[in-house]
Structure formats: C-alpha cells, structure tokens
C-alpha cells in the first residue's frame, strides 16, 4: 500500500493482525483467514485501499489456482479529535507536568480508539503518556516487545490530576 497511497499527505494504514489456516505444518489448509484493520482519515483513500486489497487478492488467488474472497466490514472507527480551544487551554497544564520540551503536538495519529464516542457528548483532549526511557527506541504498545517502565506512570497520574484541577478552576 505504501507505494499506492501518498501516506506523507494523508495517512493510510493497513494492519493484518490475525492469520489463521491449517492445523499441521505439512498439510495444505482448505482455508486461510486473514483479519486486520484499515485506518485513514479520508474516504477516497479508504476506497482506494479497499480496491487495492480486492485487486491483490484476485491476482494472487488467480495465479495460484485458488479462490480468494474479501469481506470488508464498515464498522469505521471515528477519528480521535482534540477540541482546539480546550487543547489550547490545557496545554499549560501538561507542560507543567511534563516540561515544555516533552509536550509534542502531533498532527495525525492513526490509532483506533473509543475516545471519539465520548467527544460526541463533550469536548475532549486525548494525549499520550510515554512510559519508556528512550522514546526514539521504544517499541509500539501493540508490539510484543513493548515494555512499560512503571516509574513513568506517575506522570500520567499527575497530568490527569493537574488537568482536572485546572479545568475546574478555568470553568469558574
């Protein structure tokens, strides 16, 4: 997909997280099922990815003398969105806890999350609390190599408390 979608302009991520087929290493399975996620912010990119997946499955299965089927379920995760005015109000709180140099504004994150369902009912602010010693070498939290240095969890607790207190005082 990386060569078909300009991910520098708009993110488009395909993750195959589950592959199941067969019961023995020396027997060709009757069926193989692959499941995953597609994450993007743009509907036209989503449709382009859907077409690309269907095309690849058709070409590979045809070349192999097999039958390939693609089912794409449209339970689209909503985009996690930070309310701009709330973010602006709360940034000083986060900087007090983490330090100015450690608060980084990221334009896009392609994670799927339930958080947007809450922001349908109230303004929201979603942020990450790093828990590794060196973020540049840390494994993703969905990696089998992920390791959380629990000493850093205190920053998450401090930031939540600071945000709650500051929000209460700003709201008066």
What CA–CA distance (Å, rounded) separates 38 from 77?
A: 10
Same domain, 56 and 27: yes
Question: DSSP for 96-113?
Answer: HHH-GGG----S------
The total of structural domains in the chain comes to: 2
In the chain, how long is the greatest CA-to-CA distance? 69
**Confidence at residue 28, expressed as pLDDT on a 0 to 100 scale:** 92
Q: pLDDT-based confidence at 2, cuts 50/70/90?
A: low
Instruction: Note down the domain range covering 162.
Output: 84-170
Share in percent of the chain as helix, strand, coil (round to 5)? 40, 10, 50
Q: Evaluate if residue 123 carries a pLDDT over 80.
A: yes
Same domain, 18 and 34: yes
For 10-56, the pLDDT digits (tens) are 778 888 999 999 999 999 999 999 999 888 878 888 889 999 999 99
pTM value? 0.63
């Amino acid at each position: 997909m990386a060569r078909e979608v300009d991910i520098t302009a708009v993110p488009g991520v395909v993750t195959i997280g589950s592959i199941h087929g067969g019961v023995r290493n020396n027997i060709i399975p009757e069926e193989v099922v692959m499941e995953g996620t597609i994450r993007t912010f743009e509907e036209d990119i989503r449709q382009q990815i859907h077409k690309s997946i269907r095309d690849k499955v058709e070409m590979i299965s045809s070349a192999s003398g097999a039958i390939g089927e693609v089912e794409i379920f449209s339970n689209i995760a909503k985009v996690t969105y930070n309310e701009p005015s709330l973010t602006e109000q709360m940034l000083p709180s986060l900087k007090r806890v983490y330090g100015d140099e450690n608060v980084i504004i990221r334009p896009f994150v392609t994670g799927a999350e339930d958080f947007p369902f809450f922001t349908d009912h109230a303004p929201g602010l979603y942020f990450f609390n790093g828990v590794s010693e060196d973020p540049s070498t840390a494994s993703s939290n969905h990696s089998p190599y992920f390791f959380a240095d629990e000493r850093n969890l205190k920053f998450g607790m401090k930031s939540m408390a600071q945000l709650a207190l500051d929000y209460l005082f700003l709201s008066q």
